Amino acid sequence: MNTLTLQITGMTCDHCARSAQDALNALPGVRAEVSFAEGRAQVETDGKVETARLLDAVAAKGYRATFLLKDDEAVTGGDGGGLHVAIVGTGSGAFAAAIKAAEQGARVTIIEGGEVIGGTCVNIGCVPSKILIRGAHIAHLQGHHNVAGVPLNTPELDRKTMVAQQQSWVDKLRYAKYESILESNPDINLVRGMARFKDAGTLIVTNTEGSEKEINADRILLAVGARPAIPAIEGLSNTPYWTSTEALVAETVPQHLIVLGASVVALELAQAFRHLGAQVTLVARSTLLSKEDPAIGEGLTAALEGEGIKVMLHTSPDAVSHDGQQFTLHTNNGQVVGDRLLVATGRAPNTAALDLDKVGVKTDKRGGILVDDHMRTNVENIYAAGDCTNQPQFVYVAAAAGTRAAVNMTGGKKAIDLSVMPAVVFTDPQVGTVGLTEAQAEQRGIAVDSRTLDLENVPRALANLDTRGFIKLVAEKDSGRIVGCQVLAHEGGEIIQTAALAIRNRMTVQDLADQLFPYLTMVEGLKLCAQTFTKDVKQLSCCAG
């Protein structure tokens, strides 16, 4: 028999305790005694009932139950005390799940196979890249603004000092958002080593010295993230190419950087290094951001070319060579020669080492774990979240998925809704998208109408002396309900969330047009774009309602 202790809150009398006790004893293989005075339940089970069902039984009576754990409990589950959740990975999705699961009363073991915790975002992704982009943008503005009376200046860059400041912030944020949580939360236990499945309830963790430990758990969450995907190009593996990881900490600026790729990472880093003074050639197999509205790629191509970046569209690399100093990229459109090569052609899930085939967890052709909207895999007690799944690879999606996975692993039922998911590309101008494009709406059989507002019609863009880009709204033809928005604009990332809220709240273009927006803001462009469905905004006075 397994002996468990539950703490129960919400009871107001002995009758409440008897009600909770009856609910627990109604479960097969369970014998429970509930004390109102102590606010606790002593529960014995035959080991066959899922521990989450105990929490559900109490919750069904209107009370909240959490497991009380023993101070000297081992890592393994079984005869332990409460629900044991094992999480593989320590990124944003993993930590969101760990925190929530602990709040729900579970005991959490979180497993990390690398040298540092925190995953991609804080270490080699969002945080360092945005610091790099910010510094590069400031450097670029000094020599390329068009404000009269302010002299242009080409700054002398100290890239080594920039990297030092950047990595200092990485260290600070990793401690604040990850390491300090482990220090302050005794219900989350870190185990270091590479994890793989022995069976559906058991993980084998191998540390750097080769020793192994088995971890048994009631629930297992896979949140192992992704790594740069390296294309099979002849000769590439024999060259010292960069991925985003190396590029972010490079202490010198290349003379000529060749960038393979046409999506988020490629575009952000290509422009950042151009802003730092490098000559840049961007090589794209198709068009830029080919999954988005074609106008986005066209507008961004024009903006990047306007800054001196050579953009080679519909260009396929056939081979790569390196002579010790220079890379030579052979393509269907000729050769490209540069002193650095950045490969940014997507990311691949870190699932190969997990031995998923041993437990039958299904994956897609990329190796991404297939999950439903509750983060459940096809194996009952195994969940997954973040970049290692078939869900969109955004840190905020991973965190939301991790939280919901924890709720579901501890007896709840909470889905993730990705129907209104804003996304941003941090180029300048920025790309912001949410909802459906015209093409996507038509594929779903939705008749739509759309309007595109050039930024020369947005007063703040005029005041910024930067009218590159546009704002586009897509709406149902009959109802006028907004179903999508695409933005290419300076601070486009600050605009798109307003559009997301409008879509989430089923607003029509008229509803949006009637809202009050502060004058001389970029987000006012949404109101102006909505107004173009019924009038010519060029004929309106400034800040016209």
CB 86 within 8 A of CB 227: no
What amino acid positions are annotated as catalytic residues? 11, 13, 16, 63, 121, 126, 542-543
The identity of residue 543, as a single letter, is: C
CA distances from 275 to 139, 301, 345, 464 (A): 7, 16, 21, 19
Quote the CA–CA distance of 423 and 433 in Å, as a whole number: 5
Residue length of the chain: 545
DSSP state of 255: S
Beta-carbon count within 10 A of 184 CB: 8
DSSP state of 179: I
CB 270 within 8 A of CB 304: yes
* ∠ Cα 468 472 477 (to 5°): 160
Q: Report which of 436, 428, 435, 439 is spatially closest to residue 493, judged by C-alpha positions.
A: 428
Q: Which distant-in-sequence residues (6+ apart) come within 8 Å of 15 by Cβ?
A: none
The identity of residue 492, as a single letter, is: G
Query: Which structure tokens are listed for 363?
Result: 């994956």
Q: Which distant-in-sequence residues (6+ apart) come within 8 Å of 461 by Cβ?
A: 455, 467, 469, 489, 490, 522, 525
**What is the three-state SS of 342-375?**
EECCCEEECCHHHCHHHCCCCECCCCCECCCCCC
